[in-house]
Amino acid sequence: MNRSGFVKLIITSMIVLLLTGCDLKKEESYKLDPENPTSIEIWHYYNGQQKMAFDKLVKEFNDTVGAEKGIIVEAFSQGNVVDLSEKVLDSANKKVGSEEVPNVFAAYSDTAYEMDKLELLVDISKYISKDELNEYIEEYVDEGRLNSDNKFKLFPIAKSTEILMLNKTDWDKFAKATNSNINDIQTIEGLVETSKKYYEWTDSLTKEPNDGKAFFGRDALANYIIIGSKQLGVEIFSVKDGKVTLNLDEKVMKKLWDNFYVPYINGYFASYGKFRSDDAKTGDILALVGSSSGASYFPGEVMLNDNESYKIETSVFQAPRFKDKEKYAVQQGAGMAVTKSTKEEEYASVEFLKWFTDKESNIKFSIASGYLPVKKKTNDLNVIKDVMNKDDLKVSSKVESSIVSSIEQINSCKLYTNKAFDGGTKARQILEYSMIDKAKEDLKKINELIKNGTSKENAVAQFNNDENFSEWFLNFKTELENAVKE
């Protein structure tokens, strides 16, 4: 070997040793000591049954894998998701009286995005291999890539989608009397027609005119507008390289208006209580679209008054979509963000999250909490049933039906949630309240006109027209443009 070749060999060997040394040093820095365990703190928003399920799994981890690896997890509920977000941001901004930022916290993408702007979040991909990451549903991982740098900063642990829940007992009476088909409510257009039919049927049961009952209600109107727009071919918030482009198509918004605002002011849709499950419990509606994670709250009986009630059966379906349009469904549910700390604490945090999303632990949590598992292989009904049978897990029939419908929907639709952006929280609030507030306000005026002698047809016609829609649309557009600019 000549001198030049020998020198190249020595240099190459040094580089290999240097890189190997770095890798060994990196791995060594992650090696934890069971005799001197690393403690991590998690903040979440789970309460009731969900908190019990989470706490049980934390204990299981601490007693098994955690004890073996040298990790102790402490988990604390911070109230609801709004309380948690406020507390996390207060801690991040070192507000007087706030606690230290936890190692891990549950967050929707908007809150994680704000925390990431403060440079407090860990790039989780440093602690998880590509092969491991490929086990998760692609859309869930993509949601965790908050910025244009494509770094993975929000770990999916449990997700939900929207489902249609129905009071089957009262539906059967209506269907028998009117020859209605349950398949009709599985499209948005069919749902509107059925709701009109139900209003007219209930109206005919009494001597009083215009006292028909609403059939349907929605929990999250923002989801209806965002997902409905996607089904109709328009992405309202298009985010690229951290910049948002607002896309509002007037024809698309008119279709959304016609299939929510119009049936609402006619009395076919309604919202009275805090949640639509409250309205189903009082018998004020028969069907609702809400989060799959809230299936357990759908009532098992209708309360007519303080002393009178009757039991009902429940049917669960995929959320209705626009007929013959793109098959999009909402994906929702907070992920877990890991905050910057020592390498040992960061590593320990991700180790817990990986364990929590393994097959058995993730399915146990899903079954107990109403959420859905996050890996491709665990979004399989046979896999879920195997774990249920093995661990003797019991759920109510409506929660089981919710899981079945949700997984069928996830596996047959494109899942969607918009990327986080500056002004995103305010923009979503506008989507949530603009149309429903307008509908409530106009319905109040319609009822006043009817009370003063105007026919219902003429009263509704004063609001169900192009001029009223155009006025609302311009205000709606301006509000969104201002939110995005801010």
pLDDT tens figures, 247-283:
999 999 999 999 999 999 999 999 999 999 999 999 9
Q: What is the predicted pLDDT for the residue at 486?
A: 74
Residue 8 in any domain: the answer is no
Structure confidence by residue, pLDDT tens digits, 105-139:
999 999 999 999 999 999 999 999 999 999 999 99
For residues 318 and 409, the answer to whether their CB atoms sit within 8 Å is: yes
E strand segments, 188-251: 216-218, 237-240, 243-246
Which whole number is the average pLDDT over 413-431?
94
Q: Is 119 within the bounds of a domain?
A: yes
Same domain, residue pair 449 and 308: yes
pLDDT at 464: 98
pLDDT in tens, 18-76: 444 444 334 344 789 999 999 999 999 999 888 999 999 999 999 999 999 999 999 99
Number of domains in the chain: 2
The arithmetic mean of pLDDT across residues 424-446, rounded, is 97
Q: Looking at the structure, do residues 252 and 174 belong to the same domain, yes or no?
A: yes
Do 150 and 182 lie in a common domain?
Answer: no
Q: Which sign does the torsion angle of CA 387, 391, 394, 399 carry?
A: negative
Name which of 381, 337, 323 is nearest 110 in CA terms. 337
Q: Is residue 151 domain-shared with residue 263, that is, in the same domain?
A: no
Task: State in Å, rounded, how far the first CA of the chain is from the last one.
Answer: 68
Query: 105 near 81, Cβ under 8 Å?
Result: no
81 and 143 together in one domain? yes
On whether both 139 and 219 belong to a single domain, the answer is no
SS3 307: coil
Q: Is residue 101 part of a domain?
A: yes
DSSP string over 2-56: -HHHHHHHHHHHHHHHHHHHHHHHHHHHH---TTSPEEEEEEE---HHHHHHHHH
Q: Which domain holds residue 374?
A: 30-159+332-391
145 pLDDT above the threshold of 80:
yes
Could you tell me if 318 and 343 lie in one domain? no
- Dist. CA 52–CA 368, nearest whole Å: 9
Are residues 204 and 293 located together in one domain of the fold? yes
Mean pLDDT (whole number) for 302-328: 96
Say whether pLDDT at 376 is over 50. Answer: yes
pLDDT at 242: 74
For 39, 394, 395, the CA distances from 401, given in Å and listed in that order, are: 39, 13, 10
Residue 483 corresponds to which tokens in the numbers above? 């939110």
Domain assignment present for 404: no
User: What CATH number did the domain enclosing 154 receive?
Assistant: 3.40.190.10
Q: Confirm whether 397 is domain-assigned.
A: no
pLDDT at 11: 52
264 and 346 in a single domain? The answer is: no
Whether residue 442 is contained in a domain is answered as yes
Q: pTM, whole model, 2 decimals?
A: 0.90
User: Is residue 21 situated within a structural domain?
Assistant: no
The average pLDDT across 307-311 equals 96
What is the C-alpha to C-alpha distance for residues 424 and 392, in angstroms, rounded to an integer? 42
Q: Assess whether pLDDT exceeds 60 at residue 246.
A: yes
319 and 242 co-located in one domain:
yes
Q: Which residues contact 196 (CB under 8 A, 6 or more apart)?
A: 263, 266, 268
Q: Residue 16: pLDDT band by 50, 70, 90 thresholds?
A: very low
Mean pLDDT of the chain: 93
User: Quick one: pLDDT at residue 3?
Assistant: 53
| Per-residue confidence band for 369, with pLDDT thresholds at 50, 70 and 90 | confident
* pLDDT tens-digit map of 463-485: 999 999 999 999 999 999 999 98
Same domain assignment for residues 174 and 149: no
- Residue 194: how many other CB atoms lie within 10 Å: 25
The answer as to whether 353 is a domain residue is yes
Distance CA 406, CA 293 (A): 10
Closest residue by Cα to residue 262 from 470, 461, 5: 461
User: 241: pLDDT confidence band, cut at 50, 70 and 90?
Assistant: confident
Same-domain pairing of 218 and 321:
yes
Give the domain-ending residue among 376, 391, 406: 391
Domain final position from 322, 356, 391: 391
